[in-house]
Structure 1
Amino acid sequence: MISSGAIIGAITFLIAFGSFFITPRDVKWFARLSRPQWLVFEPLIPFIWTAIFICGAISANIVWQKNPGSLVTWFLMGLYLFVEIITIAYIPVMLRLRSLKVGETLGLAGMISAIVLAVCVLPISPIATILLIPYLVWSPIGTLTTDELKEINPEDA
């Protein structure tokens, strides 16, 4: 039998591949945008998100292990899935539509969904909730960075 951790990890990994649905033309649009001077950590962003998704997968596995197969647990797994999908969608959708506003909206939706998830998970497992803190800290940084990009590049907002 395959462990829940392996299944959750595989699903997380497969969804993360959605970020590869971008074209060179899309990347060129984003690369030409002006960046704020303080955005020196941009090369680290893929590694930061990888760590955040690992924490999220571990959090989901802890929640699953607390009450496997219950209706509430399935609902929470759906919420974990939604948060990851909306987060992964940020880059390809924003690039394809060439709209920083769309990116900002997706970032905000992910942040709000993650807050709801953390509140729902807290009574089940404080440790699982703690593992969501990296997302809860980083997501607003990404959303504010996108907002700053909109200010610097109003023609691409």
Structure 2
Amino acid sequence: MIFSAILVFILVYLLFSLSGILFPIDLTWYASLKKPSWTPTGKTIGFIWAVLYALIALSLAIVEYKVGLKNTSITFMLLWVINYLANQAFSFFEFIAKRLDLAFLDTAIVAITTFLLIFATLQYSILAAILLIPYLIWAFVATILAWFIYRLNSY
């Protein structure tokens, strides 16, 4: 069980990090956008995501260790898949498609599915659910930030 939990941690961390490789940030375009004064720097955002990816991966690894992912509900796994796909889609919408409206909607989906994931995770592990709270907080902050960036740059 510990080996499979470690494997889940590594796999989930790598999968969540994938969007940075698949959809690289267009720094010139992003720098040209109007942003609220409270927008974190790119390095800060990168650090936050690195920590969050570790917490997300640890949360799922704990569930794997305690009950095994194959023993979780379809709803639990579906929420994870939707959350993961939405998380990955943000970089595509923001930096490849340059669709700030879709990036905003996408962050809202990430926030909503993270909220639901916390409750779905509670039945398997309180600690695993608690580890998702920083992700939820950041998802809501990111949604608000994405909304402001969209509104400031809508012509």
What TM-score do the two structures reach when normalised by structure 2?
0.85
Gaps of 5+ in 1: none
Distance in 1 separating the partners of 2:72 and 2:40? 41
Match of 1:117 in 2: 117
The sequence identity of aligned pairs, in percent, is: 25
What is the RMSD computed on CA atoms of the aligned residues?
2.3
Match of 1:99 in 2: 99
Distance in 1 separating the partners of 2:39 and 2:123? 37
Distance in 2 separating the partners of 1:80 and 1:137? 17
Structure 1 position 144 matched with structure 2 position 141: no
Gaps of 5+ in 2: none
> Quick one: structure 1 residues 11 and 91, their matched pair in 2 at CA, closer, same or farther if it must change by over 3 Å?
same
Name the count of aligned residue pairs.
Answer: 154
Q: Report the 3-state secondary structure (helix = DSSP H, G, I; strand = E; otherwise coil) of the residue aligned with 2:72.
A: helix
Deviations 1:102-151 (A, max 9, x none): 11111011111111111111122111110000011110100100111112
Distance in 2 separating the partners of 1:124 and 1:2? 16
Kindly indicate whether the alpha-carbon contact (under 8 Å) linking 1:34 and 1:152 is maintained by their aligned counterparts in 2: yes
Match of 1:89 in 2: 89
Match of 2:23 in 1: 22
Match of 2:63 in 1: 63
In the TM superposition, structure 1's runs of 4+ consecutive aligned residues that sit over 4 Å from their partners are none
